[in-house]
Amino acid sequence: MKTYTHIFFDLDHTLWDFEKNSEETLFALYEQFDLGSFGKFDSHSFYKKYKFVNVRLWDLYNKGRIKQAELREGRFVKTLTGLGLEPHEIPVGIAEAYTDQCPTKTAVFPYAYEVLEYLQPKYGLHIITNGFREVQHIKMSASNLHGYFREVITSESCGFKKPDRRMFEHLLERINVTPDECLMVGDNYECDIEGARQAGIDQVFFNPEKHSQKRSPKPTHEISCLSELKQFL
């Protein structure tokens, strides 16, 4: 068993409950922009369509095939035209309203604070996230996560995106440790687990929905609840 000294965490959908926070924001936007008045879709269809579109656009963004602005605008254009609105009917400012409101939401995964309280005295804790710098800092402040972490590395601030090993190496250099002292905790197999593995860092795959898909190579550890970290750390 290795002795770890530093733990890297992904932020979205690992600590900060992206799904719950996003859902709450989208239901609020449906009311705020009176999307029901078009008579074409209810708030649940709006949420489901957005989710479908957003995952696909994030995938393209992570692969470097679209830029931040195309992601932010495009997900609302594609969602709403997909639900039957004409491009000129798309409410002005809805994409900005989402980007402003969502990061201020505060839902985190069960046991997040408890586990971070437990880990903080024993390890150096750091965030490594593909999100945008400003947005990720707002999320961490709003949900009181900031105080637990020494370094917060975003793809925007370091110039590389997970799974690029250079993003992990950037953090290793900043804290001046070797990969074998570190452990990466994240929910995205390709970005967090494969990326960390490429950088020589052990991994904890956070799989709260318990997707049974076979992963190869297997992550060092797999958990479905953050509290399980206390079993081996």
Residues in the site for Mg ion, rule: CB under 5 A? 10, 12-13, 187-188
Cβ closest to Mg ion, residue 11 vs residue 95: 11
Cβ closest to Mg ion, residue 41 vs residue 136: 136
Give min distance, CB of 204 to Mg ion, in A: 13
Close Cβ partners of 217 (under 8 Å, ≥ 6 residues apart) = 197
The amino acid at residue 187 is D
Q: Which residue from 9, 4, 7 is spatially nearest to 140, judged by alpha carbons?
A: 9
Place of tokens 């939401």: 105
Give min distance, CB of 186 to Mg ion, in A: 6
Determine the angle formed by the axes of helices 18-32 and 43-62, rounding to 10 degrees.
Answer: 130
Give min distance, CB of 147 to Mg ion, in A: 21
3-state percent helix, strand, coil for the chain, nearest multiple of 5? 55, 15, 35
Cβ closest to Mg ion, residue 10 vs residue 164: 10
Give min distance, CB of 162 to Mg ion, in A: 9
Give min distance, CB of 165 to Mg ion, in A: 17
Cβ closest to Mg ion, residue 40 vs residue 72: 72
User: For the chain, where are the E strands, in sequence order?
Assistant: 6-9, 124-129, 151-154, 182-186, 202-206, 221-223
Cβ closest to Mg ion, residue 12 vs residue 194: 12
